[in-house]
Chain A
Amino acid sequence: MLKIKNLHAGIEGQQILKGINLEVKAGEIHAIMGPNGSGKSTLASVLAGREEYEVTEGEVEFLGKNILDMAPEDRAREGLFLAFQYPVEIPGVSSNNFLKTAVNQVRTYRGLEPLDAVHFLKLMKEKMAMVEIEQKLINRSLNEGFSGGEKKKNEIFQMAILEPKLSILDETDSGLDIDALRVVANGVNKLKSEDNATIVVTHYQRLLDYIVPNFVHVLYNGRIVKSGDKSLAFELEEKGYDWIKEEVDSVA
């Protein structure tokens, strides 16, 4: 589904990603962990097509297509979804209006009829129940004045509505209370299928109790320096990153 080869990217001449290699297949869940500032969000942004980052080398193939030259909205329409680490607020725009625009632009891209108000409302209700989000949150302006946790929940709600092929969750667990964490994880699990894949960026092993990954990768200094299975997350939880940093730095 997603093939990243030797990806280098940076901003204003500063290299942040220094050769990322990663393959994600349909039906898989990958966890990416790593110290602050190692480049996790940058990787997510580059995949989503944020223009301020410059890709200097490498390839990214998504569902058989090279996406590096694609506009961010087209990547989204192809089925790539990013749950932002810091979702933005859009005052005066209702979730309803925002998501209807999104859903129908995606549908049009895929050659489908736009959803009418009735069918859209049905979709909203169904997904609201699925991710346990309150109507009153949806009625408000998009993310405006939402608490940190509410914003994260809303990201998952949007993911449920858009039914992406590949979801990248950038620290969606940060700032969630225990119950919300369970709700969000449940949502992600309900949306999981053999046809889609998920990349979860997280600092905490705890999330991986709920969303069980097939692979865990450690991103450090712009590279994936270690990959393993779920047990790697436990090891990191226990020992921190120093041992990995030492390993990497001694080789270099």
Chain B
Amino acid sequence: MGKDDQILEELTSSDYKYGFETLIENDSAPKGLNEDIVRFISAKKNEPEWLLEWRLKAYRHWLTLEEPKWPNVKYPKIDFQDIIFYSAPKPNKELQSLDEVDPELLETFKKLGISLEEQKRLSGVAVDAVIDSVSVKTTFKETLGELGIIFCSLSEAVHEHPELIKKYLGSVVPMTDNYYAALNSAVFSDGSFCYIPKGSRCPMELSTYFRINASGTGQFERTLIVADEDAYVSYLEGCTAPQRDENQLHAAVVEIYAETNAEVKYSTVQNWYPGNKEGVGGIYNFVTKRGLCKGNNSKISWTQVETGSAITWKYPSCILKGDNSVGEFYSVAVTNNYQQADTGSKMIHLGKNTKSTIISKGISAGKSQNSYRGLVKVHKNATNARNFSQCDSLLMGNKCGAHTFPYIEINNSTAKVEHEATTSKIGEDQIFYCNQRGIDTENAIALIVNGFAKKVLNKLPMEFAVEAQKLLALTLEESVG
């Protein structure tokens, strides 16, 4: 700890005791952020001292940082003193079965098409649902347990697998990484932890559904996935949110760690409230997602379908450290009305013979702005690195925008980096052609858009792909007329 930090800590910790004790009785933290709030969160979760220290360090670092200005998005300044950083649902007891889950909650899931029962019954997907920052239910845990696979909430893991959490938490996305990663490290509420031991293939798609519930609650999920040597896992994340008026900040962190020969597939369908047609409300989604291909021959793929949020700021990345390691990024980002998305990927080639692929499909409608931002960096030791990037934009109407910002940094002459980009418009001709075959405009758009996004949708696990296709169509309904 630096001297300044020490002084800062002494100053603030003398203050905190008083404030803190009155705080702890509440289920929710009051609005605003200071060290007391960080301590409150940590105490609420019964965290060990080392984790509190980790959070505080992150918080202090965060204070020294500036909110990033470089993304191609516009929004009013966020007032961090107006956000509630922690809230827990009322009944806090362990639930043994779905029957014990709040029926209203189950109802909401059903409306969103995410019935836990169905998930459980039909697809054999283990679901760890994170509602308002606290895990409500984890299923299939026992099956996984037999394989030595750990899949639980991060707070549970802190208590039950402290050695793993100590080793891996912040190992891919350090607490100091960026403004929102630091904030998340300070105040993360909960999230998922997944550990696949050596030589183990996870037999089911692991899945987490996130939802933002209580109004005015900031969400700071944190996911940590570790695949040990020769391990494999496919992980799904999806979320939807009920309509609301005020902006909500979401700053998640996802870390993936892949050891030698390990493979991790991470798929996301993101459908948070994007604001209304006039651009009022909606979620601010500032996410840090990064995977580290630590071992040789390891592989990490990100697949994402982004349709929601008022603002999305997200660059799932891969650090290709191990020789022959592979990073992939497949993305469909849809913006409509006044949505803004600045998303893309970073591929950092450090090891020899490392390979990366970026396929980005941006669809803009309404008055939205959709930017691709990508970085391909080849380190001087990364002999024979390969990258292929393809960024396609599809425009619907004349009022939206598509932008591409590819950055390439090559420090090794053996590297081969290819970049392709196209921009096209959904033509009246295409829609009329479909109409003439008896297909209405809504379905025509769905066909055209899904065709455009096919390369990415194909990468999703089957049940997710179907959901994602519906979502794309739904998002763009009424956007051509």
Contacts and interface: CB of A to CB of B under 8 A. Distances in A.
Contact of B443 (A92, A105, A141, A162): A105
Question: For chain B, which range describes its interface: under 10, 10 to 19, 20 to 34, or 35 or more residues?
Answer: 20 to 34
Nearest to B448: A90
B64 interface: no
B433 interface: yes
A105 B439 contact: yes
Interface in A17-53: 48-52
B451 interface: yes
B34 interface: no
Interface string B433-468: 111111111010001101111110000000000000
Interface stretch (B112-120, B336-344, B400-408, B422-430): B422-430
Given A72-B436, A105-B438, A88 B451 contact: no
A90 B436 contact: no
Given A50-B432, A87-B433, A97-B447, A92 B439 contact: no
B438 A162 contact: yes
Interface string A101-129: 11101100100000000000000000000
A102 B437 CA distance: 6
B286 to A, nearest CB: 31
Given A90-B447, A92-B451, A97-B447, A73 B435 contact: yes
Given A72-B432, A90-B430, A162 B437 contact: yes
Among B430, B450, B453, residue most surrounded by chain A Cβ atoms (within 10 Å): B430
Contacts of A82: 436
Given A93-B448, A97-B447, A76 B436 contact: yes
Contacts of A103: 438
Interface in A170-209: none
Contacts of B430: 88, 90
B478 to A, nearest CB: 15
Contacts of A73: 435-436, 438-441
Contacts of B428: 52
Contacts of B454: 92
Interface in B399-423: none
A145 interface: no
Nearest to A144: B451
A49 B435 contact: yes
A98 interface: yes
Contacts of A162: 437-438
A90 to B, nearest CB: 6
Contacts of A71: 435, 440
Given A90-B430, A97-B447, A48 B436 contact: yes
B77 to A, nearest CB: 41
A158 interface: yes
Interface string A51-95: 110000000000000000001110011000110100110111100
A99 B438 CA distance: 10
Contacts of B433: 84, 87-88, 90
A77 B438 contact: yes
Interface of B: 427-430, 432-441, 443, 447-448, 450-455
24 contacts: A48-B436, A51-B432, A52-B428, A73-B435, A73-B440, A82-B436, A84-B433, A88-B429, A90-B433, A90-B447, A90-B448, A91-B452, A92-B451, A92-B453, A93-B448, A93-B450, A93-B451, A98-B447, A101-B439, A101-B443, A102-B439, A141-B451, A158-B437, A162-B438
Given A90-B447, A105-B438, 16 more contacts: A50-B432, A51-B432, A73-B435, A73-B439, A76-B435, A76-B437, A88-B429, A88-B430, A90-B448, A90-B451, A92-B450, A92-B451, A102-B438, A105-B439, A162-B437, A162-B438
